[in-house]
Amino acid sequence: MLKFFRRGRRQLIDEDEGSEALTESTAKRVGRPKRYLMYGVGEIFLVVVGILIALQINNWNENKKTSRLEEKYLELLKKEFSYNLEQLEKVMGGNQKKGDRALELSQYTGPGQPQLSEAEFAGLFFSVVNEEVQYRPSNGVLEEILSSGKLTIFSDQSLRTYLSSWNGILFRVRFQEQELAKYRYALIDMMLAKINGRQAFYDYAKGIFDLTPSKFENNNLDLLQSVEFESVLVGFLATSRFAQQEYYPNLKVEIENILELIAVQLGAE
């Protein structure tokens, strides 16, 4: 198209050069500037159109790159949060069992001789305190997205909101787990200070570490007659139940919503 306009302009120039040898009419000479202007405007128009097309192509290429990057991170987030959901369900299962054991042990606290053996007491006690309750999700992909400012590549506003609020919800869960850990440590401290820990551990896990029974006389069941022990045990139970019924379920819903939104976005790709 540019060649067409340039050819027309060249023709006008050639005509002008020939007009120096030939006498032309005044009307014809007056008409030529208009034709020059027409061809000049045409060339400018084509240049502008070319620039706009180039910008459009560039924008299309950038959008395509962004779309590919979004799809890549969606796949990575899908794996990460699927793993996080599995880990949360494991933690919830473990916490439920610990709460159940704490509740069962609390049935034997109070004055009078409890109706269970030393071994049964040790089994219940260590089932409560033997492991910490802590949810450890994988956050590598999400942290990379947030720290690099790539959150804006996701086209779904709801997904961006959930991802940006993840750390806040996780912080509340961890705070509750820290409260639970305080009661766990308090129970362990009471065991070390007030009962024969070696004998209790032997009764709980006979044969492990080649440990033999304690040579000291003991009656670990006396701990069940302690009001302090009962209070700490109930504190553990209550904190465990709050985590199980309030904090973990809210976190689970958050993960499931994120996974659902990711699935929708990947299905639309």
Predicted confidence (pLDDT) per residue in 212-231, tens digit: 999 998 889 999 999 999 99
Res 3: pLDDT: 53
Which range of 110-124, 171-185, 255-269 scores highest in mean pLDDT? It is: 171-185
Query: For residue 268, what pLDDT band results from cuts at 50, 70 and 90?
Result: low
Res 22: pLDDT: 44
Res 44: pLDDT: 72
Query: What is the four-CA torsion angle of 172, 174, 180, 186, rounded to 10 degrees?
Result: -130
Res 251: pLDDT: 97
User: What integer best gives the mean pLDDT of the chain?
Assistant: 85
Calpha distance 223→199 (Å, rounded): 14
This prediction's pTM: 0.77
Given a contact cutoff of 8 angstroms between Cβ atoms, the answer to whether 88 and 248 are in contact is yes
Query: For residue 147, what pLDDT band results from cuts at 50, 70 and 90?
Result: very high
The model's pLDDT over 100-134, given as tens digits with 9 standing for 90+, comes to: 999 999 999 999 877 899 999 999 999 999 999 99
Q: Does 253 score more than 60 pLDDT?
A: yes
Q: Does 153 score more than 50 pLDDT?
A: yes
Given a contact cutoff of 8 angstroms between Cβ atoms, the answer to whether 258 and 170 are in contact is no
Res 206: pLDDT: 84
Res 32: pLDDT: 58
The model's pLDDT over 65-90, given as tens digits with 9 standing for 90+, comes to: 667 889 999 999 999 999 999 999 99
Res 5: pLDDT: 46
Which range of 61-70, 146-155, 256-265 scores highest in mean pLDDT? It is: 256-265
The model's pLDDT over 17-60, given as tens digits with 9 standing for 90+, comes to: 555 444 455 545 555 566 666 666 666 766 666 676 766 666 65
Contacts of 206 (CB under 8 A, 6+ apart): none
What residues does each domain of the chain span?
86-268
Helices 157-194 and 197-204, packing angle to 10 deg: 120
- Please tell me the number of Cα atoms within 13 Å of 115 on its side-chain side: 2
- For the chain, percent of residues with pLDDT exceeding 90: 65
Q: Does 177 score more than 50 pLDDT?
A: yes
Res 96: pLDDT: 98
Res 21: pLDDT: 46
Res 63: pLDDT: 57
**Could you identify the residue written with the tokens 């599995």?**
86
